[in-house]
Amino acid sequence: MAKEGKIVKVSGPLVEALGMQEAKMYDVVKVGEQRLIGEIIRLSGERAYIQVYEETEGLGPGDPVFLTGEPLVVELGPGLLDSIYDGIQRPLGRIREEIGDYIGRGLTIHALPRKKKWNFKPLVKKGELVKEGDILGKVEETPLIEHRVLVPPGINGKVESIKGGSFTIEEEIAKIEKRPIRMLSRWPVRNPRPFKERLAPVVPLVTGQRIIDSLFPVAKGGTACIPGPFGSGKTVVLHEIAKWANSQIIVYTGCGERGNEMADVLLEFPKLKDPKSGRPLTERTILIANTSNMPVAAREASIYTGITIGEYYRDMGYDVALMADSTSRWAEALREISGRMEEMPGEEGYPAYLGTRVASFYERAGRVINLGSKGVEGSLSVIGAVSPPGGDLTDPVVQQTLRVAKVFWGLDDRLAYQRHFPAINWLSSYSLHLRNIEQYLKREINEEFPKLREMAIEILQREAEVLEIVRLVGMETISKEDQLLLEVARSLREDFLHQNAFDEKDAYTTLPKQYQMLRFILLSHDLFRGLLNKGIELKRILTLPIREKIARIKYVPEENLREFDQLEEELRREVKGLK
Partner 1 sequence: MIRKEYRSVAEVNGPLMFIEGTSGIKYGELAEIVLPTGKTRRAKVLEVEEDKVLLQLFEGTSGINLYQARVKFEGRGLEFGVSLDLLGRIFDGLGRPLDKGPQIIAEKKVDINGSPINPTARDYPSEFIQTGISAIDGLNSLVRGQKLPIFSGSGLPHNRLTAQIARQSKVLGKEERFGIVFAAMGITFEEADYFISDFKRTGAIERSVLFINLSNDPAIERIATPRMALTVAEYLAFEKDMHILVILTDITHYAEALREISAARNEVPGRRGYPSYLYTDLATIFERAGRIKGKKGSITQMPILSMPEDDKTHPIPDLTGYITEGQIILSRSLHHRGIYPPVDILPSLSRLRDKGIGKEKTREDHPDLASQLFAAYAKGKEAKELAVVLGEASLSDLDRLYLKFSEGFERRFISQLEDEGRDIAETLDIGWSLLKSLPKTELKRIREEYLEKYL
Of the candidate spans 35-43, 87-95, 310-318, 429-437, the one that interacts with partner 1 by CB under 8 A turns out to be: 87-95
By CB under 8 A, is residue 106 in contact with partner 1? no
By CB under 8 A, is residue 349 in contact with partner 1? yes
CA distance 379 to 399: 25
By CB under 8 A, is residue 394 in contact with partner 1? no
For partner 1, which residue of 9, 117, 403, 573 counts as binding (CB under 8 A)? 9
CA distance 24 to 48: 9
Residues 548-577 that bind partner 1 (CB under 8 A): 548, 551
The smaller minimum CB distance to partner 1, of residues 12 and 192, is found at 12
For partner 1, which residue of 127, 259, 375, 530 counts as binding (CB under 8 A)? 259
By CB under 8 A, is residue 1 in contact with partner 1? no
Q: Whose CA is closest to 84, among 111, 60, 61?
A: 111
The smaller minimum CB distance to partner 1, of residues 12 and 512, is found at 12
Closest CB 412 distance from partner 1, rounded Å: 13
Q: What angle do CA 129, 130, 133 make, to 5 degrees?
A: 170
Crossing angle of the two packed helices 396-404 and 354-362, in degrees rounded to 10: 40
Of the candidate spans 72-80, 137-145, 300-308, 495-503, the one that interacts with partner 1 by CB under 8 A turns out to be: 495-503
Binding residues with partner 1: total (CB under 8 A):
76
Q: Counting beta carbons within 10 angstroms of the beta carbon of residue 420, is it exposed (0 to 12), middle (13 to 18) or buried (19 or more)?
A: middle
Residues 459-488 that bind partner 1 (CB under 8 A): 470-476
Closest CB 474 distance from partner 1, rounded Å: 4
For 419-448, where are the alpha helices, taking DSSP H only?
434-444
Residues 157-196 that bind partner 1 (CB under 8 A): none
For partner 1, which residue of 136, 416, 497, 522 counts as binding (CB under 8 A)? 416
How many whole angstroms from its chain centre is CA 247? 11
Of the candidate spans 22-30, 260-268, 425-433, 455-463, the one that interacts with partner 1 by CB under 8 A turns out to be: 260-268
Of the candidate spans 152-160, 168-176, 343-351, 366-374, the one that interacts with partner 1 by CB under 8 A turns out to be: 343-351
The smaller minimum CB distance to partner 1, of residues 5 and 254, is found at 254
Between the alpha carbon of residue 370 and those of residues 194, 205, 249, 357, 377, the distances in Å are: 8, 20, 17, 24, 6
Closest CB 53 distance from partner 1, rounded Å: 13
Closest CB 294 distance from partner 1, rounded Å: 5
Of the candidate spans 100-108, 156-164, 193-201, 352-360, the one that interacts with partner 1 by CB under 8 A turns out to be: 100-108
Residues 373-392 that bind partner 1 (CB under 8 A): 387, 389-392
For partner 1, which residue of 263, 352, 427, 469 counts as binding (CB under 8 A)? 263
By CB under 8 A, is residue 353 in contact with partner 1? no
CA distance 288 to 475: 52
438 backbone φψ class: left, alpha, beta (φ>0; ψ -120 to 50): alpha
Residues 38-77 that bind partner 1 (CB under 8 A): 55-62
Closest CB 10 distance from partner 1, rounded Å: 4
- For residues 541 and 532, the answer to whether their CB atoms sit within 8 Å is yes
For partner 1, which residue of 256, 280, 384, 396 counts as binding (CB under 8 A)? 256
Residue type, position 75, single letter = E
By CB under 8 A, is residue 444 in contact with partner 1? no
Q: What is the CA radius of gyration of the chain?
A: 27
By CB under 8 A, is residue 125 in contact with partner 1? no
The one-character DSSP state at 478 is: S
By CB under 8 A, is residue 154 in contact with partner 1? no
For partner 1, which residue of 102, 125, 166, 271 counts as binding (CB under 8 A)? 102
Q: What angle do CA 196, 201, 205 make, to 5 degrees?
A: 125
By CB under 8 A, is residue 413 in contact with partner 1? yes
For partner 1, which residue of 127, 164, 231, 530 counts as binding (CB under 8 A)? 231
The smaller minimum CB distance to partner 1, of residues 90 and 284, is found at 90
Closest CB 16 distance from partner 1, rounded Å: 8
DSSP 216-271: S--BTT-EEEEE--TTS-HHHHHHHHHHH-S-SEEEEEEES--HHHHHHHHHHGGG
The smaller minimum CB distance to partner 1, of residues 135 and 567, is found at 567
* Positive or negative torsion for Cα 161, 162, 165, 166: positive
- For residues 7 and 61, the answer to whether their CB atoms sit within 8 Å is yes
Q: Give the H or E element holding residue 65.
A: strand 64-71
- For residues 242 and 385, the answer to whether their CB atoms sit within 8 Å is no
For partner 1, which residue of 51, 291, 401, 509 counts as binding (CB under 8 A)? 291
By CB under 8 A, is residue 339 in contact with partner 1? yes
Q: Counting beta carbons within 10 angstroms of the beta carbon of residue 443, is it exposed (0 to 12), middle (13 to 18) or buried (19 or more)?
A: exposed
441 backbone φψ class: left, alpha, beta (φ>0; ψ -120 to 50): alpha
The strand pairing partners of 386, in sequence order, are 227
Of the candidate spans 22-30, 127-135, 188-196, 265-273, the one that interacts with partner 1 by CB under 8 A turns out to be: 265-273
What does residue 14 show for φ and ψ, rounded to 5 degrees? -100, 130
The smaller minimum CB distance to partner 1, of residues 447 and 504, is found at 504
For partner 1, which residue of 115, 125, 276, 502 counts as binding (CB under 8 A)? 502
Q: Whose CA is closest to 409, among 242, 205, 223?
A: 223
